[in-house]
Structure 1
Amino acid sequence: MPDGDRGRLLDGTHHDPHAVLGAHPVPGGTAVRVLRPYALGVTVVADGVRTALADDGDGFFSGLLTGARPAAYRLLIAYQGAEVDTADPYALLPSLGAFDLHLIGEGRHEELWTALGARPLTHQGVAGTRFTVWAPNARGVRVIGAFNHWDGTGFPMRSLGSSGVWELFLPGVGEGELYKFEITRPDGSLTRRADPMARHTEVPPATASVVHASTYEWGDAEWLARRGTPAVHEAPFSVYEVHLASWRPGLTYRQLAEQLPGYVKDLGFTHVELMPVAEHPFGGSWGYQITGFYAPTSRLGSPDDFKYLVDALHRAGIGVLVDWVPAHFPRDEWALAEFDGRPLYEHGDPGRAAHPDWGTLEFDYGRKEVRNFLVANAVYWCEEFHIDGLRVDAVASMLYLDYSRESGEWSPNERGGRENLDAVAFLQEMNATVYRRVPGVITVAEESTAWNGVTRPTHEVGPDGFGGLGFGLKWNMGWMHDSLQYIAHEPVHRKYHHHEMTFSMVYAYSENYVLPISHDEVVHGKRALVSKMPGDWWQQRADHRAYLGFMWAHPGKQLLFMGQEFAQGAEWSEAHGPDWWLLDPSYSAEPDHRGVRDLVRDLNTVYRREGALWQRDTDPGGFSWVVGDAAEDNVFAFLRFAADGTPLLSVSNFSPVVRHDYRLGVPGDVPLWHEVLNTDAVRYGGGGVGNPDPLKAEPWGAHGRATSLGLTLPPLATVWLRPV
Structure 2
Amino acid sequence: MALRDTTPPESAGPRPRTAPALDPGDRDRLLSGSHHDPHALLGAHPVPGGILFRALRPFADAVSVVIDGDATPLASQGDGLFAAVLPSAESPAYTLLVSYDGVEHKVDDPYRFLPALGDLDLHLIREGRHEELWKALGAEPMAHQGVSGTRFTVWAPNARGVRVAGDFCFWDGTAFPMRSLGSSGVWELFLPGIGEGARYKFEITSRHGHRFLKADPMARRCEVPPDTASIVHASHYEWTDREWMAHRGDVPVHVAPFSVYEVHLPSWRPGLTYRQLAEVLPAYVGDLGFTHVEFMPVAQHPFSGSWGYQVTGFYAPASRLGTPDDFKCLVDALHRAGIGVIVDWVPAHFPKDDWALGRFDGDPLYEPGDSRRAEHPDWGTFEFDFGRVEVRNFLVANATYWCEEFHVDGLRVDAVASMLYLDYSRDSGQWTPNVFGGREDLDAMAFLQEMNATVYRRNPGVVTIAEESTAWEGVTRPTDSGGLGFGLKWNMGWMHDSLQYIAKDPVHRKYHHNEMTFSMVYAYSENYVLPISHDEVVHGKQALVSKMPGDWWQRRANQRAYLGFMWAHPGKQLLFMGQEFAQGAEWSEEHGPEWWLLDPGYASAGDHRGVQDLVRDLNAVYRATPALWERDTDPAGFRWVLGDAADDNVFAFLRHDAHGAPLLAVSNFSPVVRHDYPLAVPGDVPAWREVLNTDAARYGGSGVGQAAPVASREGRIGLTLPPLATVWLAPSSA
Structure 2 residue 610 is the aligned partner of structure 1 residue 595: yes
CA displacement, residues 589-636 of structure 1 (integer Å, 9 cap, x when unaligned): 662100000000000000000000000000000000000000000000
Following superposition, the deviation at residue 81 of structure 1 comes to 4.6
Q: Which among 417, 423, 426 is matched to residue 447 of structure 2?
A: 426
Instruction: Show CA shifts across 1:524-565 (max 9, x none).
Output: 000000000001000000000000000000000000000000
Question: How do residues 184-583 of structure 1 correspond to structure 2 at under 5 angstroms?
Answer: 184-460=205-481, 467-583=482-598
The answer to whether the 8 A contact 2:560-2:694 is kept is yes
| In the alignment, structure 1 residue 659 sits paired with structure 2 residue 680 | no
Is 1:713 the equivalent of 2:728?
A: no
Q: Secondary structure at the match of 2:728?
A: strand
Deviation at 1:520, TM superposition (A): 0.2
Pairwise CA distance, 1:425: 0.2
- On the 8 A contact 2:598/2:608 being kept in 1, the answer is yes
Q: Find 2:97's aligned residue among 44, 56, 76.
A: 76
Query: Residue 128 of structure 2 corresponds to which residue in structure 1?
Result: 107
Q: Contact conserved, 2:598 with 2:605, CA < 8 A, in 1?
A: no
SS of alignment partner, residue 689 of structure 1: coil
**Within 5 Å, which residues of 2 pair with 1:54-93?**
54-93=75-114
Preserved contact between residue 88 and residue 171 of structure 1 (Cα < 8 Å): yes
Secondary structure of the residue aligned to 1:304 is helix
Instruction: Give, in angstroms, the shift of residue 254 of structure 1.
Output: 0.1
SS in 2 for 1:7: helix
> Which whole-Å CA distance do the structure 2 matches of 1:386 and 1:514 have between them?
22
The Cα shift of 1:187 comes to: 1.1
Return the alpha-carbon distance in structure 1 between the equivalents of residues 117 and 621 of structure 2: 54
Q: Displacement, 1:377?
A: 0.1
Q: Which residue of 1 aligns with 2:638?
A: 623
Q: Give the equivalent residue in structure 2 for 1:464.
A: none
Cα distance, 1:203 vs structure 2: 0.2
Q: Please report the TM-score for the alignment, with normalisation by the length of structure 1.
A: 0.98
User: Which of 11, 18, 23 matches 1:2?
Assistant: 23
- What secondary structure sits across from 2:607 in the alignment? coil
- Higher mean alpha-carbon deviation, 471-480 vs 83-92, is at 83-92
Q: Does 1:644 align with 2:659?
A: yes
Task: Give SS of 1:250's match.
Answer: coil
Shift in Å, 1:67: 1.2
For 2:725, give the aligned amino acid. Answer: A
Q: Is the 8 A contact 1:590 1:685 kept in 2?
A: no
Deviations 1:379-422 (A, max 9, x none): 10000000100000000000000001111111110011000000
Q: 1:672 & 1:390 partners in 2: Cα distance?
A: 43
Distance in 2 of aligned mates of 1:63 and 1:318 = 64
Contact kept in structure 1, 2:544 and 2:579, CA below 8 Å: yes
- Kindly provide the amino acid, as one letter, of the partner of residue 209 in structure 1: S
Q: Distance in 2 between matches of 1:250 and 1:530?
A: 27
Cα drift, residue 86 of structure 1:
1.0
Shift of 1:70: 3.7
Give the deviation of 1:83 after TM superposition.
1.9
Count of residue pairs brought into register by the alignment: 711
Asked if the contact 1:261/1:316 (under 8 Å) is kept, the reply is: yes
Q: Does the alignment pair 1:168 with 2:176?
A: no
The question of whether the paired residues in 2 share the 8 Å contact of 1:128 and 1:170 is answered with yes
Secondary structure of the structure 2 residue equivalent to 1:449: coil
- Structure 1: stretches of 5+ with no match in the other structure: 461-466, 700-706
Q: C-alpha root-mean-square deviation of aligned residues, in Å?
A: 0.7
Local SS of the residue matching 1:549: helix
Q: Deviations over 1:334-366 (max 9, x none)?
A: 000000000000011011011010000100000
Given residue 521 of structure 1, which amino acid in structure 2 is its aligned partner?
E
1:2-151 matches, within 5 Å, as 2-151=23-172
Q: Secondary structure at the match of 1:122?
A: strand
Q: Cα offset for 1:85?
A: 1.1
Instruction: Spell out, residue by residue over 1:675-707, the C-alpha distance to the aligned partner (whole angstroms, 9 max, x if none).
Output: 0000000000000000021110012xxxxxxx1
- How much does 1:84 deviate? 1.6
Is the 1:23–1:69 contact (alpha carbons within 8 Å) kept by the matching residues of 2? no
Could you tell me how far 1:48 is from its partner in structure 2?
Answer: 2.3
Q: Which amino acid aligns with 1:269?
A: F
Distance 2:484 2:535 in 1: 24
Mapped to 2, the partners of 1:164 and 1:567 lie a distance apart of 54
Aligned AA (1:691): Q
**Partner Cα separation in structure 1 for residue 641 and residue 603 of structure 2:** 40
Find the aligned partners of 2:71 and 2:658 in 1 and give their Cα distance.
81
| Paired residue type of 2:396 | V
Q: In 2, distance between residues paired with 1:650 and 1:8?
A: 75
Tell me, what secondary structure is at the counterpart of 2:706?
A: coil
Per-residue CA shift, 1:301-341, capped at 9, x if unaligned? Answer: 00000000000000000000000000000000000000000
SS at match of 1:593: helix
Alpha-carbon distance, 1:2 to partner: 1.1
TM-score normalised according to structure 2 size: 0.96
Q: Distance in 2 between matches of 1:628 and 1:229?
A: 36
Structure 2 distance, partners of 1:73, 1:125, is: 13
* Alpha-carbon shift at residue 68 of structure 1 (Å): 2.5
Task: Flag as ranges the 4+ runs of structure 1 deviating above 6 A.
Answer: none
Select between 221-230 and 273-282 the one with higher mean Cα deviation.
Answer: 221-230
Q: Is the 8 A contact 2:474 2:526 kept in 1?
A: yes
Contact 2:97 2:107 in 1 (8 A): yes
What is the alpha-carbon distance in structure 1 between the residues aligned to residue 102 and residue 713 of structure 2? 97
Aligned to 1:704: none
**Alignment gaps of 5+ in structure 2:** 1-21
* 664, 670, 675: which one aligns with 2:685: 670
Q: CA deviation at 1:581?
A: 0.3
